[in-house]
Structure 1
């Protein structure tokens, strides 16, 4: 049912857990293939992929271009885009299987829909819980998930709206905006993401920077300039 596409760049520290969480879904037939779109890793990423039997492809460095390359190589009618430091919680495949059954039964206005998981940080702090609530409100009100929540999208819809663009930043927001709020389904299963960026920069600093970047994006500031601020 699903082609899982994961962009990587020196992801040996986090990739094993991400791939392990996909094994039950592959056994149950929910995941047809896992495609690793690598942007030039120099660590053990390629060896990890080879050991798991996933498909390894080379792509121009940049998350947007890597995701686009993975989607082009995919064979399934549904795509799951997943970051290399985001682990889907146990049971996610059963919820997705039920969603696709509903689509096949015609319970949606159109089969051209997308879905995203519930954002969770792999951290026990109060700051992490606060950020999770902020993201939950954003998704409930705006239907605007980010890439670290994972994104499932119908392949026909993905192709029709032009797929991922080669942007230095905001490639996930750009795609979600073109998908549209009415086509976005919010799932209950959690996508558990590494808190490394927030721990390194500080929660308040990283959250403020993210808010500034998304504001500049909506003000139509070119992504290449926003990328400098984000970095």
Structure 2
């Protein structure tokens, strides 16, 4: 791997993005080339003022929608490995080296195990399962690394999905038997659980997964999400 492109979609993240960028630059080893591409989907708060561009950080504008934003970031990325990361998730120390080691082993896509920043019985159980390399244990909060060639080969993110886009692309990677789980932990904010209620949100996420498995159309998943989740 000669360069890692870290792609972070944001929308109204004024309280999160500045500290996220600092934490990422503190966690990365800086022993290989890297760039951070922040893709804004039309924020209406002061998020843009919090992104300080530099030699390693650039700000990109895109239509709103995480799949669209992620694809926009990938389109301008100059690295041969893409790393898609939520702005409220903190990757482990030297995460770039951990990804490099997997690429050298010809593991072309994967994620980290995950822990929430909140101790709650439901979340403790949920995060424990992220150690297993099975499609049912995956989610976007675990981040995703993938070689740019493989990303292009599988057709990028499906922009028809305004939710569940992470799981949808990961399903395609599992179908190609191209996915590994690294034994390091990414720390993810439980803020959405705190806003919606842990039990309530876990139930609704489970229903969305079930609906997807049962073959419901994307529009049904989106309508269910908009109706039940803040």
Q: TM-score, length-normalised on structure 2?
A: 0.87
Return the alpha-carbon distance in structure 1 between the equivalents of residues 199 and 86 of structure 2: 23
Aligned pair partner of 2:151 in 149, 155, 158: 158
What is the SS of the residue equivalent to 1:50?
coil
User: Is 2:118 the partner of 1:114?
Assistant: no
1:201 to 2:204 alignment: no
How has the CA–CA distance of structure 1 residues 206 and 52 changed in structure 2, closer, same or farther, with 3 Å as cutoff? farther
Q: What do residues 134-173 of structure 1 show as CA deviations (whole Å, max 9, x unaligned)?
A: 444xx43336521111000011010011001112211111
Q: Which residue of 1 aligns with 2:141?
A: 148
Contact 1:144/1:173, CA 8 A, preserved across alignment: no
Contact kept, 8 Å, 2:4 with 2:96, in 1: the verdict is no
Q: In 1, distance between residues paired with 2:33 and 2:141?
A: 19
Alignment of 1:77-92 (within 5 A): 77-92=80-95
Aligned-pair RMSD on alpha carbons? 2.0
Partner Cα distance (1:17, 1:150) in 2: 18
| Equivalent position SS for 2:105 | helix
Number of paired residues? 221
- CA distance in 2: counterparts of 1:26 and 1:7, whole angstroms: 19
CA distance in 2 between counterparts of 1:45 and 1:3 reads 21
2:5 paired residue number: 3
Aligned to 1:210: 205
8 Å Cα contact 2:89/2:189 also seen in 1? yes
> What is the alpha-carbon distance in structure 2 between the residues aligned to residue 174 and residue 223 of structure 1?
11
12-21 or 113-122, larger mean C-alpha shift: 12-21
Q: CA deviation at 1:57?
A: 0.8
Which residue of 1 is the match for residue 21 of structure 2?
Answer: 19
- Note the residue ranges of structure 1 that are not aligned, 5 or more in a row: none
1-structure distance, mates of 2:179, 2:137: 9
Q: Which residue does the alignment assign to 2:68?
A: 65
Contact 1:40-1:58 at 8 Å conserved across structures:
yes
Check the 8 A contact 1:144/1:177 in 2, yes or no. Answer: no
Is the 8 Å Cα contact of residues 30 and 97 (structure 1) preserved in structure 2?
Answer: no
**TM-score, length-normalised on structure 1?**
0.87
Structure 2 unaligned residues grouped into runs of 5+: none
Aligned partner of 1:178 among 154, 159, 172? 172
Contact 1:120 1:193 (8 Å CA) reproduced: yes
